[in-house]
Structure 1
Amino acid sequence: MASNQQTRPGIGELAKDNVRGRIGVVMDEVGGRVQIRPICGGMEWDAMPDNVVALRAREELSARLAIRNCNSRDGL
C-alpha cells in the first residue's frame, strides 16, 4: 500500500529547511529540533521537524554538485 505522506529525511541525508529556505545535511535531532549542517560545512542550525523536508530531484542534484565542488576545493 502506497503512502502519500512524505517521510522526513534521516540523519546523514540532505534536507531543506522550508522556513529558512536553506539546504543542508541532517546531523541529529535534539530537544524536539532537527540540527542541520550547511552542505559545505559551517555552523549547524536548528529547525522545527515539521519544517524539514526531503529535497526535490532538482534541488538534490544541485546540492550534490555543490558538495562535489566543495570537496574539490578542499582537495578531497
Structure 2
Amino acid sequence: MPTPAPAIGTLLLDLVRDQLGEFRGELGNRWFLRPACGGTEWEVAPERTRPATAEQRLRVATARANARSRGELL
C-alpha cells in the first residue's frame, strides 16, 4: 500500500542522504524534496523518508530567519 503524500511544504528527512527537504510533490511512486533553505529538488522513495523532528524544524526556521535578516532570498 503506497504511503500517503504529506502536505506541500512539509519538512522530511531523506534517510539515504541524511538531508532535510521540503516536500514539493509526487510523480508515480517518487516524491520530490527541495533543500529546506533553497536549491535543486531531488527524488526520493517515500519509504526512505520520515517527518522532521521538532528540533530539526526549529533549526530550519532559524536558518530561514537568519537568511532573511541578511537580505538573502529563499
Per the normalisation by structure 2, the TM-score is 0.78
Structure 1 counterpart of 2:58: 61
Structure 2 residue identity aligned to 1:34: W
Aligned length: 70
Which runs of 5 or more residues in structure 1 are unaligned? 1-6
Which runs of 5 or more residues in structure 2 are unaligned? none
Q: Against the structure 1 CA distance between its residues 53 and 8, is the aligned structure 2 distance closer, same or farther, given a 3 Å change threshold? A: farther
Per the normalisation by structure 1, the TM-score is 0.77
The sequence identity of aligned pairs, in percent, is 37
Structure 2 counterpart of 1:3: none
Structure 2 counterpart of 1:17: 14
Q: 1:39 aligns with which of 36, 60, 65?
A: 36
RMSD of the TM alignment (CA)?
A: 2.1
Q: Against the structure 1 CA distance between its residues 37 and 60, is the aligned structure 2 distance closer, same or farther, given a 3 Å change threshold? A: same
Q: Against the structure 1 CA distance between its residues 8 and 69, is the aligned structure 2 distance closer, same or farther, given a 3 Å change threshold? A: farther
